[in-house]
Amino acid sequence: MIFDLPFKKERPTNLELAGKTAVVTGASRGIGLAIAETLAAEGARVVGAARTITDELRKAAVATVPVDLSSPDGATALVDTALEELGGIDILVNNVGGGDIDRLALGGFLDTTDGQWRHSLDINLFSAVWTTRAALPSLLDRRGAIVNISSINARLPAIGPIAYSEAKAALTAFGKRISEEFGPRGVRVNTVSPGVVGTGTWRGADLVGARVAAAQGVSHEELPAALPDRFGIASRRLTEPEEVAALVAFLVSGKASNIVGSDLVIDGGMLKTS
């Protein structure tokens, strides 16, 4: 039997984030929106960035920045705006990722164009590199925290579009690399690697989930219920965005002050090796 238990939003916890400032990328929906909402509920002042700003993000953030982070100019513009709005950055969450649905091929290596490789690397890896580089002076000054949202695809490269897993593996390595350099200087860097999360990516009618459903010969409505068995998820349900957000909020708080350079998996037991 497959269980699909919705995550219940709890009241804010005492993570001592009141008055902290945060920049969250890819914040208009899904995991990014849940992170922005959770940090705001904990008392942080959030600047949310996305190509398209949603009403939900406007409600959670003190300021929003419509920006394309697949270029270094976009990352610089975001951080400059955040510094103007916030006065400094305590928390950076590099969440933007995935890719445009019309540029993701579900075929094999020989079917994947250089354009898909470049697009996936730009949005899943270099967006974090560029944004981190721009934000680091303020993060160093405030002894802040960075969380990069990677994926268990970094450890399971046979699953998902070509170039996505490879880009996420590089992002995970990037987080470890800068944690070694900047951890001794007071900036904590960690990675969160979700498994299958119940966002619009899988539940939406026009995103990756719909294409996967078509490829597997099932209806889009049937796909979410089939995914736990399909991917061997031990909890027999999808992870919810709010659960990922709760983990991120803990990691950027003082409660996790000696967690540095870690890659924390949240996947309901899908990954079978350590």
Structure-block tokens of residue 64: 């929003």
Structure-block tokens of residue 127: 């967006």
One-letter amino acid at 227 equals: L
In whole angstroms, give the CA distance from residue 118 to residue 107: 16
Three state DSSP letters for the chain: CCCCCCCCCCCCCCCCCCCCEEEEECCCCHHHHHHHHHHHHCCCEEEEEECCCCHHHHHHCCEEEECCCCCHHHHHHHHHHHHHHHCCCCEEEECCCCCCHHHCCCCCHHHCCHHHHHHHHHHHHHHHHHHHHHHHHHHHHHCCEEEEECCHHHCCCCCCCCCHHHHHHHHHHHHHHHHHHHHHHCCEEEEEEECCECCHHHHCCCCHHHHHHHHHCCCCCCHHHHHHHHHCCCCCCCECHHHHHHHHHHHCCHHHCCCCCCEEEECCCCCCCC
Q: Is 13 a catalytic residue?
A: no
Catalytic residue among 130, 164, 174, 182: 164
Tokens 């390595």 -> residue: 173
The residues annotated as belonging to the active site are: 164
